[in-house]
Amino acid sequence: MFCSCGRRVQLFKFLKQSLGDCCKIIATDNQKTAPALYAADKRYIVPRIDSEGYIETVLDIAITNEVKAITTLIDPEIEILANNREIFMDNGIIPLCPSKETAAYCFDKYKMFEYLVQKGIRTVLTYDTVEYFKEGLDKGNIRFPVFIKPRTGSGSVGIHKVEDMRELEAYFSEGKYDYIIQEFMDCRDCDADVYVDCFSHKPVAIFSKNKLETKIGGASKTISFKDEKLFAFIGEICEVLEFCGPVDMDFWYRDGQYYLSEVNPRFGGAYLHAFGAGVDFFQLIKNNMEGKINKSIIGQYNEDVLMMMYDGVIILNKKDLIE
C-alpha cells in the first residue's frame, strides 16, 4: 500500500513488471487527480495527513484490502507512519518506515546533524541560527558562500546559495522558513538507493549513482558507480539509524571521503534508475512480506548505466476520476 502516491506512476509500473499479478497495489492520495492513483489496482481518496482520524482511515483501508506492507511517498508522512508502527504490526502489516526516533531525526535536519556528529558519522557542517553561524565564521570553521534550507523541508523547496552576511540575514528576517545554514560543498554530488531488511535491519541492497543533472525535487540524470568505501560507510550509518525498507541517501565526496548530506527513508524519485539497472527492491519487499530475511545483493549491478528522466502523462475521461 502506497500512501500519498502523487505522481509516482513509473514506480508502480516497475512494481507490476517485477511482481506481476501476485501483488496488488493499493494507492491513496488526498487529490483525485493524483496520476499514480490510476496506475494502482485499487485507489482511495483520503483526508490530508494532518487531519483528525487520518491514521484510522489508512489502517481501515489496509485491513480491508489485506495489506501486508505499507509505505508513503512523501516526507511529512514518514513520521506519522513511524509513530504508529505498532498499530500496523499488530494487524500483520509491515510498516516500510524507520523507527520513531530515526524518523524524527530524518525530518529535522538539524537534529540529524547533531545526532550524526555525536555518533561519529561524517556529515555537512550545519548551524541552526545566524548567531551560532557567526561564531563559526569568526573561528574560521566556515566561510561564505553557504547553503540555507528549511530545517524540515523536502523536495529542494526553499534552498538558496548565499554569498554574504547581508543576504543571509535578509532570508532569516523574512521568516518564511525555519532555516538551517550549511557549508557549501563544492565537490562531487552522489546518492544511493538502499534497501534495509525489515527483520535484520541491515542494508542488503545498495545502488549508488553520480548526479549528472538535478532539477527541483531531485536528480534527473544519473550514472551508476560502485565504491566499497561508500558501501561500508552506508553500513556504518545503518548501525546508528534504524531503517526498514527503501531509503534514499544523499552524499558529498570530498578529499577521498564521503559525507552524508540527507536521508529520505522512502523510495527516492530516482530509484527508477536502480530498478532499471537490475536492483529490484520489490522482490526484497515481497520476501519480507513472506517473513523471509533477505540475503545481501550489495554491488550486484553494472557501473556506467545511465538514467535520463523525462515526463509522462495519464489520460482519462473526467467520468473515470475516483469520487
Taking the CB of residue 186, how many other CB atoms lie within 10 A of it?
Answer: 9
Amino acid 156: pLDDT: 72
* Phi, then psi, of 255 in degrees rounded to 5: 50, 40
Question: What backbone phi and psi angles, to 5 degrees, belong to 105?
Answer: -65, -40
Bridge partners, residue 191, by sequence = 209, 250
The model's pTM: 0.96
How long a stretch of residues is the chain?
323
Give the DSSP letter of residue 97.
Answer: S
C-alpha cell at 98: 524507520
Q: Are 222 and 210 in contact (CB under 8 A)?
A: yes
What is the DSSP pairing of strand 188-196 with strand 203-215?
Answer: antiparallel
In whole angstroms, give the CA distance from residue 168 to residue 285: 44
Locus of grid cell 481501515: 60
CA distances from 168 to 70, 187, 305 (A): 41, 22, 39
Q: Coil, strand or helix: which one is 13?
A: helix
Q: Which parts of 121-206 fold into alpha helices (H)?
A: 130-139, 165-174
Q: For residue 198, what is the DSSP state? A: T
Nearest Cα to 149, choosing from 111, 119, 179?
Answer: 179
Q: Cα–Cα distance between 290 and 74 in angstroms, integer?
A: 26
- State the DSSP code for 295: P
- How confident is the prediction along the chain (323 residues), in pLDDT tens digits per residue? 999 999 999 999 999 999 999 999 999 999 999 999 999 999 999 999 999 999 999 999 999 999 999 999 999 999 999 999 999 999 999 999 999 999 999 999 999 999 999 999 999 999 999 999 999 999 999 999 999 999 997 767 889 999 999 999 999 999 899 999 999 999 999 999 999 999 999 999 999 999 999 886 689 999 999 999 999 999 999 999 999 999 999 999 999 999 999 999 999 999 999 999 999 999 999 999 999 999 999 999 999 999 999 999 999 999 999 98
Whose cell is 511517498? That residue is 73
Distance CA 295, CA 304 (A): 25
The DSSP code sequence of 44-69 is: EE---TTSTTHHHHHHHHHHHTT-SE
Helix (H, G, I), strand (E, B) or coil at 278: coil
For the chain, how far is it from start to end, CA to CA, in angstroms?
19
Q: Concatenated DSSP letters for 108-133?
A: -HHHHHHHHHHTT--B--EESSHHHH
Do 288 and 198 touch, CB atoms closer than 8 A?
Answer: yes
- Strand 42-45 to strand 26-29: parallel, antiparallel, or no bridges (unpaired)? parallel
Q: Judge residue 241's burial from the number of C-beta atoms within 10 Å of its C-beta, 0-12 exposed, 13-18 middle, 19 or more buried.
A: buried
Helices 100-107 and 75-83, packing angle to 10 deg: 160
Nearest to 156 by CA among 237, 220, 98: 220
- Which residue's C-alpha cell is 501483488? 23
